[in-house]
Amino acid sequence: MDQFASIAGELAPFVVAMAAAGVVAGLLAGVFGIGGGAVLVPVFYQVFGLIEIDEAVRMHLAVGSSLAIIVPTSIRSFFAHKARGAVDMDVLRGFLISVPIGVVLAALTAAYISSAGLRAIFAAIMILVGVRLLFNRESWRLGSQLPCNPMRSIVGVVIGYLSTLMGIGGGILNNTFMTLFGRPMHQAVATSAGVGVLIAIPGTLGYIWAGWGNPLLPILSTGFVNWVAVALIIPITLVVAPYGVRIAHWMQKRHLEIAFGIFCLAMSARFFASLL
């Protein structure tokens, strides 16, 4: 009985903190149209800090848990987009090997990289995304056709590698890649859902392997994936996100881009400050 009370006492504040994280992540995801790690990882990192999870594993746990949450959402999103014929299957087939290769390389990196290293990577890419959103121009193009192999495969490896280290589903990077070569945004978003599947499933397994047996992990964690966070966040974000969507519909598209750009820069500044 005493042991049960001890476990319950340890778990209760963790559950409350994760529920609060789900509300914040769901609202932000609804407002900005981003359901993956670009929102979840910063929220997780803050909450894990509030409940005093060791700094050495805090960022790894945030990234790994984010990837696990992306698995069901990316699969559901992919089949929904595919049913509407919006997915560019040629692009997805071209990424079928290269993206998972990038994911595997990232999992190997995650097993040895420090928390500070992961935060630096996340912050650096968020700066680039934030600047692009703030100063975005429809005329920005690198070409009118997507590059062929081997360049496309190289891009796939990079997308898989960086997305897995950041704990995101690849949407931000693949959307940027496809739209810079003239593809419409709705097609880029639909195809990114499939890219998310290629990243999230092996990425989750990779972070479980990378953190296996680490003594600093909190209760109910398998490697760098915490199942309390996963179990709570998915249903809460599904309930709360529509309220964020309502807020988003009150704003113009350009205002949303600016707001998310500012969010990206703010999160980047937060992570860079944590490195000092």
122: which 2 tokens? 């996340």
In 3D space, the residue among 2, 11, 23, 31 whose CA is nearest the CA of residue 246 turns out to be 31
Residue entry with tokens 């499933």: 201
Quote the CA–CA distance of 248 and 27 in Å, as a whole number: 10
Quote the CA–CA distance of 205 and 154 in Å, as a whole number: 23
Quote the CA–CA distance of 57 and 43 in Å, as a whole number: 15
* Residues of the chain where predicted confidence (pLDDT) is lower than 70: 1-11, 14, 21, 25-36, 137-140, 143, 185, 241-242, 244-249, 251-253, 256
Q: What is the pLDDT of residue 150?
A: 87
Q: What is the pLDDT of residue 273?
A: 87
AA letter at 77: S
For the chain, what are the domain ranges? 2-274
Quote the CA–CA distance of 36 and 77 in Å, as a whole number: 12
137: which 2 tokens? 């121009």
Q: What is the pLDDT of residue 184?
A: 77
Query: Contact at 8 Å (CB) between 48 and 65?
Result: no
Quote the CA–CA distance of 35 and 54 in Å, as a whole number: 26
Q: What is the pLDDT of residue 1?
A: 53
Quote the CA–CA distance of 124 and 72 in Å, as a whole number: 28
Quote the CA–CA distance of 214 and 193 in Å, as a whole number: 32
Q: What is the pLDDT of residue 235?
A: 83
In 3D space, the residue among 138, 142, 136, 198 whose CA is nearest the CA of residue 168 turns out to be 198
Q: What is the pLDDT of residue 237?
A: 72
Quote the CA–CA distance of 249 and 238 in Å, as a whole number: 18
Quote the CA–CA distance of 146 and 53 in Å, as a whole number: 43
Q: What is the pLDDT of residue 245?
A: 59
Residue 260 CA, chain-centre distance (Å), reads: 14
Q: What is the pLDDT of residue 215?
A: 93
Helix, coil or strand: residue 221: strand
